[in-house]
Structure 1
Amino acid sequence: MNIKVSVVMPVYNVQHFVKSAIDSVLKQTYTNFELIIVNDCSTDQSLALCQTFNDSRIRIINHRNNKGLAAARNTGIRHAIGRYVAFIDSDDQWHQDKLRLHVDHLDANPKVGISFSRSAFMRHNGTMTPIYQMPQLTNISAEVLLCRNPVGNGSAPVIRREALNDIRFKPYSHADEYSCYFDETFRQSEDIECWLRMIATTNWKMAGIPQPLTYYRLNPEGLSADVNKQLASWEKMIDKARIFAPQLLKKHENKARAYQLRYLARQAVRSGQGKTAKQMIDKAIAQSPDLLMEETGRTVVTLSAAYLLYILPTSMFKACAKLGQYCIGLRQRWVIGRDGVNASQF
């Protein structure tokens, strides 16, 4: 049987989460896949835990040196034999129907290079929050991708192999150097850089499906926890994008930066960094006051959360946040239901 989907899972020091991540892949209702685990020189028990699984669909590849997430994904892609390549970070999980629904989506839409899903937020301890990532799912232009990154996280996309082939490059001038897809000079923002390069420089489309099929862990120790480093890596991505999409950046860079600052303000709120959250949302509105007009609800919610976290005692803020999340979750589940999906099943 020809393998249709190659699942790539980079692993680095995630001993508390990696078994759950692997289990969520092996329990997929769609079974024609391989799981390529790329061990990026873990120093904890991650590799040993991966080796406890006895499943012929699993391959483990070990890096000789720690190279980072982008390089681990590149290694996985180079070893992948599937028509579609799915990514899952080793601290996240999938709904059991994720691969089946993405395969159906890509099979039915030959011009779509990147299929992604909505995501549900999972607490650090593995319990679910009432909140979802609710990105735009259709009509995604390079401008939309630059400003909002609807994919949202590295465990959401399933990508057509031909689309990846169309953006591969040699990182150096040497002819024998291996091909890359993600830019290995990035330790963060490597995903949005890759997606943007694909949409801005090829004819492939991006589209999402309405089910929340990815369970994204809010990990305070993860790469996305340091919002200042994340902003710096995003700015590095912008510098590169000016080279391959100069007109796009000339027209939309300031607006995109405002959206990114607002996103980082939300990240800071989630990790309890009140001062940083306030600074980020203030900068976002100063960068583009139109945020208050174009996306009033999301901007006001972020602004309110940042200032409440900054002003209120922790216990009082947590009570307010819990109520706010409940109300937002109700609204999000209504939208998901409007799209024909029963959110309670996810």
Structure 2
Amino acid sequence: MPFFSVIIPLFNKEKYIENALKSILNQTFLDYEIIIVNDCSTDESITKIEGHLSEKIQLIHHQKNKGLSATRNTGIVNAKANYVTYLDADDLWKPTFLESIYRMICNFPEAKIFGTNYEEVYGEKIIKPVNGSENLAPDFEGIIDFFSINLKQGIYNHGSVCFHKSVFEKVGYYDENIDFSEDIDFNIRANAVFKLAYSTSVQMSYFKQTDNQLTFSSILNKKLPDYDAYENLSFSNQKIKKYLDFERYVLAKNLKKHGNNFLYKKIKASIDAKNLSWKQKILLNLPRFALKIISKFKQFLFSKNINYTSYN
């Protein structure tokens, strides 16, 4: 039995899938299997990987397009290892990613979730996200409270995290009724029950401007997570309440910017304002045209290597 099962969700990534696969094959830790789940790609993605298939690398085909959550779930169901991790077909691992995860598994046996820091790639530009890792020591490796520190960008993303199979057995799989922020929905359930071991070491490259990336698609026609469903978790843990309000803030602001004023008002009404910073309170209440102007101005600043965010 392999130590890790690595799941690659695949849908129309012919330009990138080979490099993603090679970044796994170049790992310093070699005890793993790779499960590629093809969610009905219509390009040449499968042609690109056929020459790499082996006993160690299996390819599973969906008979119809089911989306990211279902694709991950298919990989989990077919995983042979006790530790499951993912790499999207347009992202890359550093050679020591699995080695870093393995070290934390050995050093922090009380944890069942293991994450590392990552970098964001915009064309030729590489930046470190503003995600709370900057508040930890540069060489930190240890147990952290997900809900306390994860109030900015994600402290990890789903290309830089590993879950023990017992997490899925306890909290369930990815919600296939959600097709926006499904990672956040799963993170809430998992981190409410299990401990997270984390390393500030950058072990993954997250490419933000590739073809077919869901991050840049409109949220107006998406099935969104219901953060109210987790409000009961906050009764005994105010850190979870603050985290839920932060995610509501992010979602409400984006809904207003995209023109869904009804849902914006509904989500805003659930937010306790004391859980937001002064900048976030202002942005949440700005009119739509102002949010769109600010968004364009942030893009301009970013082109000048200035990464301004309300998360600071």
Distance 2:180 2:295 in 1: 32
- Which 4+ residue blocks in structure 1 deviate beyond 6 angstroms? 298-303, 306-309, 311-314
- When residues 140 and 264 of structure 1 are mapped into structure 2, their CA distance, relative to the original with a 3 A threshold, is farther
Please name the residue that 2:2 is paired with. Answer: 3
Please name the residue that 1:322 is paired with. Answer: 304
- When residues 246 and 62 of structure 1 are mapped into structure 2, their CA distance, relative to the original with a 3 A threshold, is same
Match of 2:196 among 189, 199, 206: 206
Distance 2:184 2:292 in 1: 29
Distance 1:43 1:89 in 2: 17
TM-score (norm 1): 0.69
Match of 1:224 among 199, 203, 215: 215
- When residues 308 and 59 of structure 1 are mapped into structure 2, their CA distance, relative to the original with a 3 A threshold, is same
List aligned pairs for 1:247-326, cutoff 5 A. Answer: 247=235, 253=241, 256-262=244-250, 288=273, 291-292=276-277, 310=293, 318=300, 321-325=303-307
Per-residue deviation at 1:323? 3.5
Count residues with an aligned counterpart.
Answer: 292
List aligned pairs for 1:52-201, cutoff 5 A. Answer: 52-123=51-122, 125=123, 127-136=124-133, 140-141=144-145, 143-144=147-148, 147=151, 150-168=154-172, 181-200=173-192
- The answer for unaligned runs of 5 or more in structure 2 is 137-141
Higher fraction of helix: 1
Q: Deviations over 1:205-227 (max 9, x none)?
A: 01210111111111374222236
Per-residue deviation at 1:60? 0.4
Please name the residue that 2:16 is paired with. Answer: 17
- The answer for unaligned runs of 5 or more in structure 1 is 169-180, 269-274, 329-346
* Aligned partners of 2:4 and 2:33 also within 8 Å: yes
DSSP-derived class of the 2:72 partner: helix
* Aligned partners of 2:246 and 2:275 also within 8 Å: no
TM-score (norm 2): 0.76
Letter of the aligned partner of 1:116 in structure 2?
Answer: G
